[in-house]
């Protein structure tokens, strides 16, 4: 991977880049040339995030560029060229005295992130800055192994509580109460809701039916699948756009398909 540094950047930073690159075995090729946008650019076809442009600003420069309006224009231009635009502020902007107050400084940072899609970091000094950008360029070549991410362990009872609470009208509180009398394997074999409602004081026949339906694969007639919604939107747009002509063959098929989806659901049928 090549790291291109603008030749107008501090020579001290170039020295730090070469030292840290060797010391921590990053194995980057570091070059300098005149860059029109950004202070540091990553050039590598293996980059998983695309092209990266990093702009280094001292705290004083950052505040000054807010005041003269050049900051947002510069970041906007970078966002059109790079897949990932990063701004790294070296120093503490709160220590910089200027005509703009602290709220304006933080407001500018928020705008860069939310409106321009830039990532922003703050470093106390140039040494930390150099180590940070080397790590950024390194991580853009690697993926995250999701199998190694720790997930909270859930007990068997916790999983059963979560499953039962999915029944209509049953929350986690009632699910805990139900588990004192019935486990999921029991609920899956109960056909009469009265068995549940007689055993548990706060569970009526209706809620008991909902529990049975959940574990016996009952299909709610009013439930729309993602595919149904997608097809319905497609045919509805055609209808609104006056593209459907019931007299023509293929268009009549589309109209029939939309009607079939509509009539599948009782709550829509009652509205028609």
Neighbours of 212 (CB within 10 A): 20
Hey, what are 182's tokens?
């019935």
Q: What share of the chain is helix, strand, coil (3-state, %, to 5)?
A: 50, 10, 35
- pLDDT at position 152: 61
Residues of the chain with pLDDT under 70: 45-49, 143-154, 217-272
DSSP lists the bridge partners of residue 88 as 56, 121
> Can you give the pLDDT at residue 42?
85
- The pTM of the full predicted model, rounded to 2 decimals, is 0.54
If residue 3 lies in a helix (H) or strand (E), which one and from where to where?
A: strand 2-6
pLDDT number for residue 85: 94
pLDDT at 268: 45
Instruction: Report the distance separating Cα 124 and Cα 82, nearest Å.
Output: 26
- C-alpha distance across the termini of the chain, in Å: 63
pLDDT at residue 146 in the model: 56
- Helix orientation angle between 156-164 and 172-179, rounded to the nearest 10 degrees: 120
In what helix (H) or strand (E) does residue 188 lie, and over which residues does it extend?
Answer: none
Q: How many Å apart are CA 18 and CA 139, to the nearest integer?
A: 18
């Amino acid at each position: 991977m090549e790291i291109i540094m603008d030749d107008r950047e501090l020579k001290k930073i170039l020295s730090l880049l070469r030292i840290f690159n060797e010391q921590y075995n990053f194995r980057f090729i570091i070059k300098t040339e005149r860059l029109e946008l950004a202070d540091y650019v990553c050039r590598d076809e293996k980059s998983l995030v695309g092209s990266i442009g990093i702009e280094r600003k001292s705290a004083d420069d950052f505040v000054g560029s807010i005041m003269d309006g050049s900051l947002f224009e510069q970041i906007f231009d970078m966002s059109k060229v790079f897949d990932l635009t990063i701004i790294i502020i070296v120093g503490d902007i709160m220590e910089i005295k200027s005509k703009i107050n602290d709220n304006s400084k933080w407001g500018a940072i928020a705008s860069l992130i939310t409106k321009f899609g830039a990532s922003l970091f703050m470093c106390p000094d140039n040494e930390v800055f150099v180590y940070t950008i080397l790590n950024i360029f390194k991580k853009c070549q690697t993926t995250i192994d999701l199998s190694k991410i720790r997930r909270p362990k859930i007990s068997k009872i916790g999983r059963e509580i979560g499953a039962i609470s999915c029944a209509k009208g049953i929350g986690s509180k009632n699910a805990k109460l139900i588990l004192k009398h019935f486990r999921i394997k029991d609920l899956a074999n109960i056909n009469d809701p009265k068995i549940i409602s007689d055993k548990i004081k706060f569970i009526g026949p209706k809620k008991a039916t909902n529990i049975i339906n959940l574990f016996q694969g009952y299909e709610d007639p009013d439930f729309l699948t993602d595919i149904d919604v997608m097809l319905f939107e497609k045919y509805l747009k055609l209808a609104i756009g006056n593209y459907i002509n019931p007299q023509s063959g293929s268009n009549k098929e589309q109209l029939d398909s939309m009607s079939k989806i509509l009539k599948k659901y009782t709550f829509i049928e009652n509205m028609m």
